[in-house]
Structure 1
């Protein structure tokens, strides 16, 4: 057996568990109760302004440098971190709810020679499951049999490739003869050897071994998670990949902290402002050094210096003192303003009537408040002829022939607009 080859048996959970394959539960959230605080703080301190104010807070606890109380920095910093953390927690909570909703969907699984209704998260590699018309495919399956002639099934792959046209899959004859006979399906002990989990949606290689005979498996025999069964009363399938090992989840990758062009621009601006602050503090420190050389000795009677506190060291301390005094030059409130604007913009997206689909009663939903402004940053849109944008539905709106306009124009509420002919 090849090193990266997967091996499994139908209706044999004990055997398949020995390989420690992934369960069918999925996870798209970034945090949990224990990792939220450290991970979120790590992500937030990647922002230049937050890191700057953290360094400033450290400087303010040094009495030889700071002339201001550390409360003046820690209060606004905590406020900024709290607002951003609350927003990130809300977004991740929605991801947890979405994961829970998907993991708790029901599907019929053949267990102990009976079809039982089980949650998606409880499905395991090697299980035989039954799908019905208009039902989502639970995991990556090898098609066994179906209700259609020649064991064909029709699937919609819109969630995988955006195409709404139906695709055809066909089971092997040796498994198609099983039909919907529960006893035959329960006695099926075929063994599958196939490729390791990967993100290639357009290809699959594997071998089915039944009674010593080998049968080749390709992409035409596989139903991928994310597809929807259409125009097919029922079908049975053998779970090959589950949960995070399915091709759909392999293409998703891990949830990461995404940064928009506005975030990157603000980091550049803050760096420029910080550079300006360093220049000002350097000039002031040099001025302090010159003053100490020329006039500082005249004040030693009233302000005696500590041992080792010469003019150079005094200028060094003065530099950091001015960094603290002039800290308001770096706008920490800028990030708070941007976060509030993003939150408000997400509400406007949810309330937008022009983005409401009345046929399915589906409003727009901003699932994250981090990337809203990227909607207005698109320069190019590339599309093909598969109906990704048109859904293969062409509707006549209006045309002009020989200077005369034909057709009516309607607004988003469905009311006819009175437009004079041109």
Structure 2
């Protein structure tokens, strides 16, 4: 035994042929053994992981699994999470150890999924940015009949991430319903995320629970860390953190969707109220000879965005929701319009400008026509600049607040207080500042003294206000009604169903049922070699010019060091050709 131990030590320290010599020694001693038993550490999935992945898939989210586990373990996890299913047409496994072999396997998989697919990928180049100086490349999607899965290991991924095979990998992976990259290094995870960001122009979210996921979390647009047994490195590097994977479902399908909806409504309404406010000045310039004469009182201009319209839009952007959280879980498809930018895009911006232009014309010309030849009850003339300005600004404020009410789907006490409180504050400030009793000594500061008392006590002024509001609101209501009848969105359908049916009862908490597969076992034993050769091959390292000193990050695989920070060792500067791995 001592002799074999000495030979084993010598074989494990040689520089060449180490694995072959070790295999020979193992064959010598592993003979005539009796198996007494086996033990293993159970790597259990968290509660709700399969259900969460299923819901996210219904929301048209593409889910890629980047793991350092062995291929057998990764495939069993895929089946346990319902990402790989028995009803899939095929699951392609890319495990070649050469660049040509990886390219051939990727092309064969693509030909099987879509025989008429072109050999060369279709990449569209477009300009983006404020001045269209940034050139972006987008890989076009290809339609596939049926569902397929792709499993690729770290050795093949090292070749697939090279510049000449990147598009082959991404093109084949995007045609599959499920992509699992197993036995990958932390840097390869980040490279896969960067590849998707570069050619798909999609918003990426990376979620991980360990230090080996930090590079992936930082590379994605949104990073989510899970605080658990693997330490807090992922949490410290993430944008959001929680304790269970299933909480991702509520983060995206509920709060994420609500946040996007509120932000789009806020932007549309903010542009509407300010464009309407500004266009009135533009039309009025044709009557005052472009002399910079303002339509409204200068105090109204000062407090329009500061007091009168600030809180209502704030309340909508904080509390509004189209459907509640339980209906959001019931219909994950509600998330899809946000992925297509249907709530706020260039068309929505143009529609907002057209709507503002129409409202400004009504707000200016209806009061002007109504006040032009109008007289008071006592026969005196009421057609003066101050009365017209007061009526125009009152019509503007009432119209934009009613438009806000039409855009609000979820009313709370705070919303009610902000909307009606803003209108009450406007009339209170107007009667106070424009009265000729209390502020008679501030005539130069308040040039509209007496206008409110002389104008707002006339019935035809209130009739003009009602007519202006009606002409601004009725076309909007009619257009939305016709649009819902002819081209209803998924939100319109769910809200219509919500009014007819009772709220779905919350699903009872029960452990997820284990998926029994007739083709695969529930175990993930593997006797294949690890990724030591991949690490020492330097294929996954970034090619950067060496400086005076550089750091090589290595992570210990010992169970005692899984929750510890990564260790560093320093490599002295050497020429790139002669540097040892």
Larger radius of gyration between Structure 1 and Structure 2: 2
- Hey, which of these two has a bigger chunk of helix by percent? 2
Length-normalised TM-score, structure 2:
0.23
For CA contacts below 8 A with separation 6 or more, give which structure has more relative contact order. 1
Length-normalised TM-score, structure 1:
0.30
